[in-house]
Amino acid sequence: MNTLFRFIVRYHTLLLFLLLLGLSIVLMVRTTNYQQSKVMGVVSSTRAWAYERIDDLTTYLSLKKENERLQEENTLLRNQLNHYLAVDTLYTIKQYDTIKRTDYIYKSARIVNTSTNKVKNRLVINVGQDQNVGPDMGVISSDGVVGVVTKTSDSYAVVLPIINPESHTSCRLVRSNAEGMLSWDAVNYREALLTGVPQHIDVQVGDTIVTSSNSNIYPPNILVGTVKSYEVRSGNLYEIKVSLSVDYKRLRNVYVVKSDSYAEIDSLLNGSER
Amino acid sequence: MNISVIKYILLFILLILLQEFVFDNIQVGTLLTPYVYILFILILPFSYAPSVVVILSFLLGLSVDFFTTDILGLHAFACTVIGYFRGFVFKALKPKDDTEQKIATTTIYTMGWRPFLLYVTILVLMHHSCLFILETFKLYNPLYLLIHILLNSLVSITFIILIELAFFRNPRSQS
């Protein structure tokens, strides 16, 4: 017993060091598992609240640019609307399609916190359960696809952006109609990798990449980015470097997309797995 | 309470706030961020017991985790490691004539340029290696990881030295 005490006293710094290392490892393992849960903890909500207060202060700095962007988007939407209004002026009978529902509902939100310098990046937006925002809803902006909602609290939500290795988005090359999977390699926050496109498909630098209709989180044909470079990797598949259309550092206003069919498709898929 | 204890508590809080609101928003190149808060561990006086330094390092890392990452324990791990090895690195680097433990804290002026730079470099490399290896646990790209560690260490060391030069006065020039 005496020797044990002497051992502890002698090596107390080393023992303390090992204990604290163990504690940090336990914390790391626990929080990464905790991330799987869909609800944000009290700590994260408080943090999100603090982020929003800070963002309230800094938002004025980028007000002018943001207004210009919204103006641009308005012009685009107005032109599209004009197109729809101009179609079929002779045929004036209105028909309401009662069977088909509106597929997607958009909700505007503001980003209160962004990280682009980590490996596991994430965004925080100022809508949550109170605004009927839940996990697995897509987030897009006027520039293109942003990410997926992963966790929510009463009035905030955490978004998993494309620039996180855990994020996988199914995409389509517009010109060749080939489908691929977009993921991030943690190198550059303006670039991502598109994999799974077979070698026989004609890919060119500058090709536009949009969301595929396979993804039931995002609406189809939302801009993702353009092909920056490509090379053949792992046998006969391309590895395409995509420059993302969204600049996460400048992003402020986004839309949360609620897909009406998502829950149905999801339950169908999960049911068939069993 | 000792005045220096209050000074270090204030420094602790100040460095965490700076890391959260200033340095975490600085991005050199694409993914390089200066981690300046470890300056606190580097300059803690050597009169403090090693166990106290280890505990303080752990608390510092945990606080930074709490504010800047989603993974608790990431910075805590890296900080605990350098908090423990700080003493050994210092012992290996300190000038031979310092038999009476004249060096109370490590600054450029008390240690001299070369030993101080080495001291900072070794500890920053240690910290960043722990941090990035743990963060990119699932990504198997060792060459990129190595370059990332080296470049980010360079950025952090530059910022730490700049802060030292800006805020720590030469005690000899004062007298």
Summarised one tens digit per residue, pLDDT across range A176-223 is 889 999 999 888 889 999 988 888 888 899 999 999 887 778 888 889
With cut-offs at 50, 70 and 90, classify the pLDDT of residue B110: confident
CA distance A157 to A132: 11
Nearest CA in chain B to A13: B51
A254 and A126 assigned to the same domain: yes
A73 and A194 assigned to the same domain: no
Residue A192 belongs to some domain of the structure: yes
C-alpha separations of A232 from A196, A201, A226, A241 in Å: 11, 11, 18, 11
Query: Mind giving me the DSSP string for A11-49?
Result: THHHHHHHHHHHHHHHHHHHHHHHTTSSB--HHHHHHHH
Residue A198 belongs to some domain of the structure: yes
For an interface test with B, give the residue of A11, A17, A46, A51 to mutate (most B CBs within 10 A).
A17
Nearest to A24 among B50, B73, B138 (CB): B73
Residue A196 belongs to some domain of the structure: yes
Cross-strand partners of A172: A179, A210
Q: A120 to chain B: which residues are within 8 Å by CB?
A: 69-71, 135
A70 and A144 assigned to the same domain: yes
A128 and A61 assigned to the same domain: yes
Taking any CB pair shorter than 8 Å as contact, residues of chain A touching chain B are 12-14, 16-17, 20-21, 23-28, 30-32, 35, 43, 47, 54, 115-120, 122, 165, 185-190, 249
A135 and A54 assigned to the same domain: yes
Report the half-sphere exposure of B128 (CA within 13 A, side-chain side).
25
| pLDDT of B174 over the 50 cut | no
Which pLDDT score, from 0 to 100, does residue A60 have?
A: 81
Residue A32 to chain B, least CA–CA distance (Å): 6
Judge residue A77's burial from the number of C-beta atoms within 10 Å of its C-beta, 0-12 exposed, 13-18 middle, 19 or more buried: exposed
| pLDDT of B173 over the 60 cut | no
Cβ atoms of residues B72 and B79 within 8 Å: no
Q: B135 to chain A: which residues are within 8 Å by CB?
A: 118-120
A149 and A200 assigned to the same domain: no
User: For the segment B46-90, what is each residue's pLDDT rounded down to a tens digit?
Assistant: 888 888 899 999 999 998 888 777 678 889 999 999 999 988 888
Mean pLDDT of A5-22: 87
Nearest CA in chain A to B28: A117
- Whichever domain contains A193, its CATH number is 2.40.10.350
Q: B67 to chain A: which residues are within 8 Å by CB?
A: 47
What tokens appear for A61 in the block?
């700095």
What tokens appear for B32 in the block?
């390089």
Structural domains of chain B, count: 1
Contact A190 B66 (CB under 8 A): no
Could you give phi then psi for residue A226, rounded to 5 degrees? -130, 160
- Whichever domain contains A117, its CATH number is 2.40.10.340
Which pLDDT score, from 0 to 100, does residue A101 have?
A: 59
C-alpha separations of B62 from A20, A73, A231, B33 in Å: 11, 43, 42, 18
User: For the segment B1-52, what is each residue's pLDDT rounded down to a tens digit?
Assistant: 577 788 888 989 998 888 887 888 777 776 788 899 999 998 888 888 888 8
Which pLDDT score, from 0 to 100, does residue B99 have?
A: 55
A109 and A53 assigned to the same domain: yes
Q: B131 to chain A: which residues are within 8 Å by CB?
A: none
Residue A223's SS3 state is strand
State the amino acid at position B113 in one-letter form.
W
User: For the segment B127-141, what is each residue's pLDDT rounded down to a tens digit?
Assistant: 999 988 888 766 667
Residue A220 belongs to some domain of the structure: yes
Q: A32 to chain B: which residues are within 8 Å by CB?
A: 71
CA angle B80, A51, A123 (to 5 degrees): 80
Cβ atoms of residues A221 and A211 within 8 Å: yes
Cβ atoms of residues B31 and B148 within 8 Å: yes
A128 and A142 assigned to the same domain: yes
Which pLDDT score, from 0 to 100, does residue B100 have?
A: 55
Cβ atoms of residues A104 and A260 within 8 Å: yes
CA distance A2 to B30: 56
| pLDDT of A174 over the 70 cut | yes
Structural domains of chain A, count: 2
A157 and A175 assigned to the same domain: no
Residue B90's SS3 state is helix
> Could you list the residue range(s) of the whole structural domain that residue B97 is in?
32-169
Kindly state the helix (H) or strand (E) to which residue B123 belongs, with its residue range: helix B113-135
Which among A73-82, A109-118, A139-148, B98-107 has the top mean pLDDT? A139-148
> Could you list the residue range(s) of the whole structural domain that residue A189 is in?
169-244
Could you give phi then psi for residue B25, rounded to 5 degrees? -95, -10
